[in-house]
Structure 1
Amino acid sequence: MTESVGARPRSSRLPRSARRAQLLDVALEVFVEQGYHSASMDEIAERAGVSKPVLYQHFPGKLDLYLALLETSCDLVIAEVREALASTTDNRRRVMASMELWYGYVADQGAAFRLVFESDLTNDPSVRSQIDRVIYESAAAIAEVIREDTGLPGPAAHLLAVSLVGMGHFGAQNWMSRDSDLSREEAVELVAGLAWRGIRGVPQDRPRDPRENSNQGVE
């Protein structure tokens, strides 16, 4: 049988966690290149340099493998949103860091981004729930900051947060897919400036500490 393009030599024995991580890396390549429906477990096993029984020991089926990979990618995005929000108490900088995250994720993690947001399996409820989780958990983290700084009720803070996530997510996706003449830095600066000019106009109900600088809190 002719060896598949990109196939790795049969690999030596690895600890279970390391083997699982390797299989996920290879599966990401195959799913992004071929889409879920065209990808095969045979191809993934061949490229990983393992037998199909080894692959099935870790993932009982193709959908299980895809969902594990999707969950890992989604967890990464959500964790990085929280990290961006925690990186500063200056809300203008928080807006900038959030936009930098989305544009950086699209540019630097292109394969993972396409797996999460351009899946050809979005009609499957289990896949759709993972994709929705990225939007809503990211928005929940942002809404908490907005609620603390403005005193807005939960639904209002959540709506603003979802809108900010949409600006980052859809803006970055459009920027990448259209091969924009704008550099990443220019795009981030433009969109972050728009987001900040909007969010800083939300009334702030909590008492201000006079020691806070003018960029802290939503103005």
Structure 2
Amino acid sequence: MSDPDHEATQAPVRRLRRAERREQILDAATRAFARAGYAATGLDDVAAEADLTRAMLYRHFDSKADLYRAVLDRACVRLVESTGADDFDDGSIPGLLRAAAADPDGFRLLFRYAAREPDFRDLIDSITAASREVAHRNLARRIPAGPWLDWAVNLIPSMTVEAVIAWLDAGRPDPDQAAERISQAVHGVMAAAHP
């Protein structure tokens, strides 16, 4: 028997548009994959996190790998939107911190977890190569060609990302000063690489 009082207080169910539902699934998948990693997270975990059925996931993604790739691709797009893709300037480290703060799970998935997943390693390898290219373009003006330039080109991008992850893991202390502190570390590497 139906309860008229209960029916009167229930909000009408609003169906999400396809793009909104996809974003809901990507948000839930990002949280689920960040919690347990790719291998340990099943589509049932993602469906539960999104409060959807597994069948609903398959309406948007062909497989778990397809969903994970979409999560990583979205994290990449957000990263590029926050930092730019072609050059390093005074806004790059603050932009990286903003990207990490806005999507900490996506940032960790991209830089901590994807690197360990052979099927998705290509994405982080392309980000790393692009970061090193930008670093080389900027550092070659300041550091003479040779092994110390190569050392700095390899170290600065990875150190910067690790510094941001450590900042996230520490609870995001002093957000206004974090970019300056990371910049000091970058300048320390540059000074050490210069003869």
TM-score (norm 1): 0.64
The aligned counterpart of 2:43 is 41
Q: What is the aligned residue count?
A: 183
Aligned equivalents of 1:13 and 1:145: distance in 2? Answer: 46
- CA RMSD, Structure 1 to Structure 2 (Å): 3.6
Change over 3 Å in CA distance of 1:35–1:118 after alignment to 2: same
SS in 2 for 1:125: coil
Secondary structure of 2:120's match?
Answer: helix
SS at match of 1:126: coil
Residue among 161, 168, 183 paired with 2:174 = 183
Deviation at 1:169, TM superposition (A): 0.8
Report the alpha carbon displacement of residue 67 of structure 1 after superposing the two structures with TM. 1.6
* 2:158 is equivalent to residue 166 of structure 1: yes
Letter in 2 for 1:172: V
CA–CA separation in structure 1 for the residues paired with 2:127 and 2:67: 19
**1:84·1:98 contact (CA, 8 Å) conserved in 2?**
no
Q: Is the 8 A contact 2:86 2:134 kept in 1?
A: no
More helix by share: 2
Q: 2:110 aligns with which of 103, 110, 116?
A: 116
| Per-residue deviation, 1:156 | 8.0
Give the Cα–Cα distance (whole angstroms) in 2 for the partners of residues 187 and 28 of structure 1. Answer: 25
Which residue identity lines up with residue 46 of structure 2 in the other structure?
I
For 1:29-178, what aligned pairs fall within 5 Å after superposition? 29-82=31-84, 85=87, 94=89, 96-119=90-113, 122-146=115-139, 149=141, 160-178=152-170
Gaps of 5+ in 2: 1-11
Q: Kindly provide the amino acid, as one letter, of the partner of residue 126 in structure 1.
A: D
Conserved 8 A contact 1:11-1:49: no
- Taking the aligned partners of 2:58 and 2:150, their CA distance within structure 1 comes to 41
Secondary structure of the structure 1 residue equivalent to 2:17: coil
Q: How far, CA to CA, are the matches of 1:166 and 1:138 in structure 2?
A: 9
Matched, 1:14 2:17: yes
- 1:69 Cα deviation (Å)? 0.6
> CA 1:187–1:62 in 2, change beyond 3 Å: closer, same or farther?
same
TM-score for the superposition, normalised by structure 2: 0.70
Give the equivalent residue in structure 2 for 1:196: 187
Task: Give the whole-Å Cα distance in 2 for the aligned partners of 1:124 and 1:111.
Answer: 16
Q: How far is the alpha carbon of 1:157 from its aligned partner?
A: 6.6
1:74–1:131 contact (8 Å) kept in structure 2: no
1:150 offset after TM fit, Å? 5.9
| 1:22-56: CA deviation from partner (whole Å, max 9, x where unpaired) | 21112112222333233331232344344323311
1:100-139 C-alpha deviation (Å, 9 max, x unpaired): 23333333321112222232x6443222222222222233
Q: Which residue of 2 aligns with 1:25?
A: 27
Taking the aligned partners of 1:13 and 1:29, their CA distance within structure 2 comes to: 20
Q: CA deviation at 1:18?
A: 3.3
User: What are the ranges of 5 or more consecutive residues in structure 1 without an aligned counterpart?
Assistant: 1-8, 87-93, 204-219
